[in-house]
Structure 1
Amino acid sequence: MTQGADPERAEARFHLFDTAIGPCGLAWNSAGLVQVQLPEASEAATESRLGRIAAASWSDALPPDISDCEARMRAYFDGAETDFADITLDLSRANDFTKRVYAELRKVGWGQTTSYGALAKKLGEPGAARAIGSAMGKNPWPLIVPCHRVLAASGKIGGFSAYGGRATKRHMLQLERADADGAAPMLPGLFD
């Protein structure tokens, strides 16, 4: 959908900010946070991806809740135990199942992990592990909806759709002191 076709998206704004791992970004509208962007290969790539996906325009004028989210993200990547469970999200593009998945996952706090199967059981849908994996792969709010805390049934890292993939996920878990499988180092991620 193009920016002009959706009034909520037409008002969307985004902002980039520096963190210990590189430039991150937030996109928002009047309904809440639209997207979180972890660093890409370069600041230009981060900005391009955030602006394109969120169909938003740049802004330095941050509403208080977005400014607070930015501060929490900076603190998180500096190693501080940080909670994002109260950040308001614009869930208008998520279906009911995905909304339930994200709500349940937001209960998994700092340093904790879960599995796709465990999330499915908590939702009362024990056969939905693959559907939960699909929802994680489309999560527009990595870190805020902590998909990095979801592991494979074996306890292995599993996938991660942010730049750097599994290596980035592993480093985020290590930052929280929740290393999953302790496997040998992989290709560089955001922290390398």
Structure 2
Amino acid sequence: MTTARRYALFDTALGVCGVCWTAPDVIVAVALPEDDRADMERYLASFDAEPGAPAPVAGTIDLIRGLMAGSDVDLSAVPVDIADLPDFDRRVYAITRDIPRGRVLTYGAVASRLGQPGAAQAVGRALGRNPIPVVIPCHRVVGAGTEVGGFSAPGGAATKSRILAAEKVSGFGEPTLF
């Protein structure tokens, strides 16, 4: 028997977000703000989910709202379903989930923690596939120096910079002379 998946959209300080979950409250996907609500709903529905009342994940929604508003929240205990993802991705996400709010690691540092110091680009690709952004805080992985690095969510690096700013991380994404 397959567990039914549901999704819901909700407002945050940075725009409308969405969450997809399976019973009882395990997160399968998060959709970050974008202009087209229909695109967001199509994305969440692609996880074999139907619209639903968000009561089972109200606590997670409140935490995501808090993060987007700049509150000091911790999403590391939110249960996620990543069992069907590739092993490398799951290992990257485990390291990423351990990055505390307000801190960042570089792609190279994550690769080193994996025991694969030459795998920074592979780390970036894994983070680009992250179906559960902010809960698995891929926005906390940045390029070397002051480079924000890529971000596959709508709005790209600008969205990543906005989330980092909400977490009071400074110095990333600002223009430099060199």
User: Same fold by TM-score, threshold 0.5 exceeded?
Assistant: yes
**Percent identity for Structure 1 against Structure 2:** 39
Match of 1:150 in 2: 141
After the TM superposition, which segments of 4 or more aligned residues of structure 1 sit over 3 Å from their partners?
none
Question: Does structure 1 residue 7 correspond to structure 2 residue 2?
Answer: yes
Question: Does structure 1 residue 43 correspond to structure 2 residue 34?
Answer: no
In structure 2, list runs of 5 or more residues that go unmatched: none
Larger RCO, structures 1/2 (Cα 8 Å, 6+ apart): 2
Contact between 1:173 and 1:180, CA under 8 Å: does it hold in 2?
no
Shift, 1:182, TM fit: 5.0
Contact between 2:7 and 2:21, CA under 8 Å: does it hold in 1?
yes
Deviations 1:95-133 (A, max 9, x none): 222111101111101110101110111121112211111
Letter in 1 for 2:61: E
Cα distance in structure 1, aligned partners of 2:145 and 2:67: 27
Match of 2:9 in 1: 16
Cα distance in structure 2, aligned partners of 1:126 and 1:106: 19
Cα distance in structure 1, aligned partners of 2:128 and 2:113: 19
Contact between 1:114 and 1:151, CA under 8 Å: does it hold in 2?
yes
Contact between 2:7 and 2:54, CA under 8 Å: does it hold in 1?
no
Structure 1 residues 182 and 131 mapped into 2: Cα distance closer, same or farther (>3 Å)? closer
Letter in 2 for 1:35: A
Cα distance in structure 2, aligned partners of 1:103 and 1:179: 24
Describe the SS at the equivalent of 1:7. coil
Cα distance in structure 1, aligned partners of 2:123 and 2:38: 31
Cα distance in structure 1, aligned partners of 2:42 and 2:114: 35
Question: Does structure 1 residue 88 correspond to structure 2 residue 83?
Answer: no
Letter in 2 for 1:158: G
Cα distance in structure 1, aligned partners of 2:173 and 2:39: 31
Cα distance in structure 1, aligned partners of 2:142 and 2:68: 21
Q: How does 1:126-137 map to 2 (within 5 A)?
A: 126-137=117-128
Letter in 2 for 1:17: F
Question: Does structure 1 residue 140 correspond to structure 2 residue 135?
Answer: no
Letter in 1 for 2:8: H
Match of 2:168 in 1: 177
Question: Does structure 1 residue 34 correspond to structure 2 residue 25?
Answer: no
In structure 1, list runs of 5 or more residues that go unmatched: 1-5, 185-192
Shift, 1:180, TM fit: 3.5
